[in-house]
Amino acid sequence: MIGADAFIEGETMRDEVKAGSLKTWSAGDYFVIGRQLVLMAELLCESADLRAGERVLDVATGSGNLALAAARRFCVVTALDFVPELVEIARARAVAERFEITVEEGDAEDLPYPDGSFDVVLSTLGVMFAPDQHQAARELVRVCRGGGRIGLANWAPDGFVGRLFAVLAGHVPPPPDVPSPLVWGTEESLRDLFAGHSFTLTRRDHVFRAHSATDWIDHYREYFGPVRQTFAALDPPAQQRLTQDLTDLLQADNVARNSTLLLPAAYVEVIIDL
């Protein structure tokens, strides 16, 4: 039996982790980053074989790429995110494209919907960052009807983004006892998270493009929360070392044949049948 002090300590730690996560994803401007990822959302909707009229939930919608992609396929779409600023951007984008999408603020670990509310539950680079991974996976399954499907796009740990997060962690270690979000990009972990359910896994590359390594670093330092927060936690000499480590990573992964930057970033696309 867990004692009261241990329970309170655990709850306090979870609250601190969530508060830190909210601060990270509120930093910068994820909309500027997310608009580069539209194709990933469109491909996931195709792989999930969305049908007109299906009830679709986009968990951790960010700025709404996936919700908009589902709406373009004539689905009845609900989208949820825990960052208030992103919720407002996703709503504004839905209005601009004249879609009736319900966009709400909420937690992927405690979805505010009854069991079996949706035919399809989707997430692109979102739910993988929930601190309590098993709870988040249980919630995805709970709100999806029997016979429905879950579609995910998650960064692969051995790809460019996996190496990027390793570089960041080498300068500012993540909170202890918080599992890496990159485990959502491995077949072994997905079998654990969705035990008892069959799924198909397809490995894809998303290609990042920039004028140069310097341009990429400046862009992500300004707009991408994890990079921005890592730089902010360091003194100037440590920031210079991080810049050099990022430059080395970008140059090593660059496949462009001219002076620009072309970075294939591996991710896995997962369709889970319920």
Backbone angles phi, psi at 202, to 5 degrees: -120, 130
Q: Which of 162, 184, 182, 181 is nearest to 249 (CA)?
A: 162
Residue 121: which CATH number?
3.40.50.150
User: Can you list the alpha helix ranges (DSSP code H) found in the chain?
Assistant: 4-26, 30-34, 38-47, 65-71, 84-96, 133-143, 160-171, 187-193, 213-223, 225-232, 236-253
Q: pTM of the prediction?
A: 0.91
Q: Which stretches of the chain drop beneath a pLDDT of 50?
A: 1-2, 4-10
Is the residue at 9 inside a domain? yes
Q: Which of 101, 93, 95, 96 is nearest to 73 (CA)?
A: 101
> What distance in Å separates the CA atoms of residue 255 and residue 272, rounded to the nearest whole number?
33
Is the residue at 140 inside a domain? yes
3-state secondary structure of 241: helix
Q: What is the pLDDT of residues 216-244, one digit of tens each?
A: 999 999 999 999 999 999 999 999 999 99
Is the residue at 58 inside a domain? yes
Number of domains in the chain: 1
Per-residue confidence (pLDDT) for residue 13, from 0 to 100? 57
Is the residue at 79 inside a domain? yes
Is the residue at 246 inside a domain? no
Distance of CA 70 to the CA centre of its chain: 17
Tell me the residue range of the domain where 144 lies.
5-157+175-208+266-273
Q: Which of 29, 31, 1 is nearest to 92 (CA)?
A: 31
Q: Are 264 and 39 in contact (CB under 8 A)?
A: no
Per-residue confidence (pLDDT) for residue 176, from 0 to 100? 80
Distance of CA 144 to the CA centre of its chain: 19
Per-residue confidence (pLDDT) for residue 12, from 0 to 100? 54
Per-residue confidence (pLDDT) for residue 1, from 0 to 100? 46
| Paired sense of beta strands 55-59 and 118-124, if any | parallel
Is the residue at 165 inside a domain? no
Is the residue at 228 inside a domain? no
Is the residue at 74 inside a domain? yes
Per-residue confidence (pLDDT) for residue 257, from 0 to 100? 86
